[in-house]
Amino acid sequence: MIIQKLKIVAIALLLQMHLDAAYLFAQTKSITRQETLRGSVTPEREWWDLLHYQLKVEFLPDTRRLKGSNTITFKTLKPGSKMQIDLQPPLSITKITHGDSQLKFEREGNVYWVMFEKELAAGTEEKIEVSYEGVPVVSRNPPWVGGITWGRDDLGEHFIVTTCQGIGASIWWPNKDHGSDEPDRGMQTSVTVPEQLVAVSNGRLKKTDHNAGDKKKTFHWEVLNPINNYGVNVNIGNYVHFSEKYKGKGGVLDVDYWVLAHQKEAALKHFKELPRTLEAFEHWFGKYPFYEDSFKLVAVPYPGMEHQSSVTYGNWFRNGYLQRDMCGCGVGFKFDFIIVHESAHEWFGNNISMKDAADMWIHEGFANYSENLFVEYHFGKKDAETYVIGTRRIIRNDVPIIGVYGSNREGSGDMYPKGGNMLHTIRYIINDDAKWLSILRGLNADFWHQTVTTEQIESYITKKAGIDLSRVFDQYLRSTNIPLFKFKVNGKTLSFNYERVVKGFAMPLRVSVNGKESVITPSETRQTMEFADEIKQFDVNRNFYIEVAKE
């Protein structure tokens, strides 16, 4: 996703994502049973592993209803007879079949408990078909508030989209709504709409059926790779299509663009931004993770979202983010924020996905950080540094970046700029650009198409860097304090220490003394260094996200 809203208040921009008191209260109040069911691996989820989804859904704009089914193919990991399937009211499951049998089920809020006729043995492949229908939740503010948007385009035609990050895909279709399990063999999505409309979903369009009698069309889309639930989307409108071939690290990538008819001219010009985005990220992260499923940009009536192989776009065909500059330094106008940020999620978010929503910084911290890598690739290191450092102004340090495990509660919106600045800081701790590049590529290769935890990412980077970064991660992900570096110069003597740090924090710092760069390793304990000459100049490298105080 993207940071929610930036409001200009005098010259400062304030992050509006998580509103102060209400949010802090939400983080400390006790976890409800519904949150546990949504956000944890319950016993009714852990005995089976997703293999495939086959979603068929009809969108009925006149009545604002959905009607469809999801055939869920899964492997039993151990014996089981009771299954959790998620679908949020006011949608309802109407029938569940397993082979020739109709299964019993009962509802508990957002969850359905599905009872098999008899216990299924371990190690078998099974399939159930879940039929559902109803009037789904309408999104009040896509993409930050999930649901269906039954909109109209500028010319009055239907423009209907789904968004569900956070609240979960079960707001519009029945599934196993937890990040830890993705369908290993991918997903088919067949969308039926009034015949004058076009439906665009993830992956490749396999075929289109036209039922002239009913005046309906069905668009059959297919994804071959594992896909996270919130990355699944359907967009319906008066779409036209154009495409290009991108010669990338994985061969020839099919790149498709789906925009409304009246947007085509602007898109043909502006989407030249996309190939150079892919080029930058294939350099930093390795090949695009879903060549089989192609890549596309799809126009939507909200700013954007990282829907897998189907990045949605609503940034007005202009650079910046809704005509603003995220860093306040000018560099943000050198690129289209939505194309760059959301495409970065194909690597961090879709290729490497969080198991638990508390670890969402893995998506957003790296995506924020990727913006500066894009800038570095195309405009040089100085602009890149200025950009990522510039985004510090929207860090709030309200609550930790890591949220509450097992509850689908995300951490602070700081996961974007603070996550990005933590990664930028770590690059400067490692102080070896070739090694850092190999870590970024290595993450994507070694966690290819996997779901992961923060601990896995931390220990991977620590191991590859050969530096214990555990306290650095603790400081920036699990506390709200920014390290304070205090120093004093007295003739030839420099004394310094950290304050406001987690126990054992001793992050090396690159400093300049009389024009000469060196590395010091402050800690909470005061240290003193003697130099050969009087210290006339002393600076801390600006790339480290700390505060500095001269005594």
Binding site for Zn ion (CB under 5 A): 1, 364, 367
What's the angle, vertex CA 125, arms to CA 53 and CA 39, rounded to 5?
Answer: 55
Instruction: Answer left, alpha or beta for residue 323, where phi above 0 means left and psi between -120 and 50 means alpha.
Output: left
Give the span between the Cα atoms of 268 and 271, in whole angstroms: 6
DSSP bridge pairs for 494: 489, 529
| Residue with Cβ nearer Zn ion (307 or 409) | 307
Give the span between the Cα atoms of 91 and 137, in whole angstroms: 8
Q: How far is the CB of 195 from Zn ion (least distance, A)?
A: 35
Q: How far is the CB of 1 from Zn ion (least distance, A)?
A: 4
Per the listing, tokens 């990664």 go with 423
Query: Distances in Å between the alpha carbon of 11 and those of 6, 15, 393, 505?
Result: 12, 13, 11, 34
The alpha carbon torsion through 142, 354, 426, 503 (nearest 10 deg) reads 110
Three-state secondary structure call for residue 267: helix
| Residue with Cβ nearer Zn ion (40 or 165) | 165
| Residue with Cβ nearer Zn ion (273 or 364) | 364
Give the span between the Cα atoms of 344 and 413, in whole angstroms: 18
| Residue with Cβ nearer Zn ion (352 or 367) | 367
| Residue with Cβ nearer Zn ion (187 or 367) | 367
CB atoms within 10 A of CB 483: 24
| Residue with Cβ nearer Zn ion (336 or 364) | 364
Query: Distances in Å between the alpha carbon of 533 and those of 163, 509, 537?
Result: 62, 21, 11
| Residue with Cβ nearer Zn ion (347 or 428) | 347
Beta-strand relationship, 111-120 and 104-108: antiparallel
